[in-house]
Structure 1
Amino acid sequence: MAKLELQNLRKEYNPKTVPIKDISLDVEDGEFMTFIGPSGCGKSTLLRLIAGLETPTKGRVVISGQTVNGVPPGDRNIAMVFQSYALYPHMTVEENISASLRIRKTSSDEIRKRIDDVIIKLDLDRALLERKPGQLSGGQRQRVAVARALVREPEVFLLDEPLSNLDALLREQVRAELKQLFKSQNKPVVYVTHDQTEAMTLSTRIALLYEGVLQQLDTPYQIYTYPANSFVASFMGSPQMNLLTLSCQENYAILGNFKLKMPDLRKKPRQIIMGVRPENVRIAKQGDEQTIKGNVFLVEDMGKEKLISVRVQGSDGSEGKTIRALLAADNYWDGEEDTVTLTLPEKTMHWFDVESGDRLTHHS
């Protein structure tokens, strides 16, 4: 059984440039792990450490129980799919797919067998085998790059933003194909992306990074529903979670002239960050508790839904706070400055510490 382990990995280029800071995690057989985070968070550096393209300053990379820190990339039994596809332009598709096997002096019969198997899995037209990369579409080149990785039958697959060069419709199609394909391989898969839709739909678990630090490692559901801190809450989800810094009075957070019930906390803060996702904010009905009132100042029509921005006036007459709600498209608005009453269901609200950003409540 293959298993990838990262043990206390750190990468320093100099004392002020530390893209990876003490990261530890495991990727099991059949697991699809996605590294995600904003530009410069360290996700690509982490992938390069696994591949052997970078050397860790501290810590170990372990594949199938063997430390591979000093092992060259070509000897690690990994396969990598790059953002640019990295196909040899002077070779045919068949030569590109089989290049690594020919270097390893694999027999012609075995090469032919593996190529036949992989073009069926990837729905590659056999007529494409004699073409060169310049004669292929972006989607075809992407499939060839994946085919080249699959024929190696490696212990670990590494994918570095392989869909970023495809248009939106093709990206959605190929994303679904990749999920099924790698599920059947039953090997550890590490996938790097900045696209949260890819991370949510493809992953068994997500590792969310920021400034070289692992912010949360969990399933897509847990990361979305129970973000570990305000950064995770703001990064995962589109539209972005409403995050408002509010003053506190006893067990309530103050939003304009309205009081929002806070969870029971050991220490009562003076301020708190309240979070609620736009899809959990709804138009209030009679009998609803925890309602707020404000003026609609922006309506964004998203087809099946409308995203409305509502300004809640400050209790002292100040500009107030903005909260966004994602509502069904059949909600009709006469225009801006309509007054609307919204409800914030208590069970859907998140609470974070103002200074650390850490989550203040835990799920059972």
Structure 2
Amino acid sequence: MRHLASLQLAQLAATPANPPSGHHSLFMGSDGKLHQLTSAGTDTVISGGGGGGSTTLKAVKAADEDIASTTLVNVAGMGIPVTPGLYRLEGVVKLGNKGHSSLALNGPAASLFAMLNTAAATAGSFAGFTYDTTQALNYGDAATLGSSADSALQTVVSGALNVTAPGTVNLQASFNPKIFDNSGVLTPYTWTWSGGLETGTVFHSGTDSLRLTPETTSPTWLYPYQLAVIAGQSYTFSVWMHSAAGFAGTGIAIAWRDVNDSVIGTEVTSISSIAANTWTQRTITQTAPSGAAGAVVRIGYNGGTAATNYLHIDDVLFTANSAALTVRAGSFLALTPL
């Protein structure tokens, strides 16, 4: 029998491809530590290098994945099996530029996730991204980490997990093409208006609408200010409108803004005559121009009319015309027992 006196492993700059089903791979990572890689993409540090230490459990995203679900689902290859105990959490989540997203952690019920720190690893890419900073989140109930409208977003997350039952900690993601509707999807947005605004009893769907009382000598507009957008992304803005007496200039408009709130290009409009006591839909589909970071949308009359010529507004939608968002390869979660 021959004995292997030593095994030399070259240090790799990146995680190798996943091994075939039923196999594990050993490799020396760029951190100088020995790693075990499963066919599902779970990367576990099995040595602490020269200093020794606790075993770190790591899940690394091996390939880009498109997420089309509008409810939170597990991201493939981003689950880590755990046993009861306290863990340090570290991770980087990279998102593509296909749409708006929500991120969450999910794991054994009643286990607690305490966020210690979150930071943008890519400067200037964080507008519109918010975190729930509650210090004791039940991640078994899929506590939301954040939602974003940004392109090339890279998010650094760290915290602590107190796991109370065996299970799997999963990164979850969802895609929401509705950036705004009048029931308040992805709020907060502030409504601003001229004239008077109140709840209307004439409605296109549901049980009520927004009723705009017009100015008699000047235009009357209603708008939520301002919606986060991605340059190069296609969007559709649509509104159902009902005028008591009709009006020649009724419709909607979009003005694109940059990160400094300066207008880009020319405002896009869909304004024309509307018949009395008839629900009419106005729609604009446009691609956000280069440099765009936000959109200001307007709804209303482009001139004065009788104060009793109320404009009812319903089913307001501002939608990203995408099929999915992308979770990028190289995203990872790491858990270290404490």
Scaled by the length of structure 1, what TM-score is found?
0.28
Scaled by the length of structure 2, what TM-score is found?
0.29
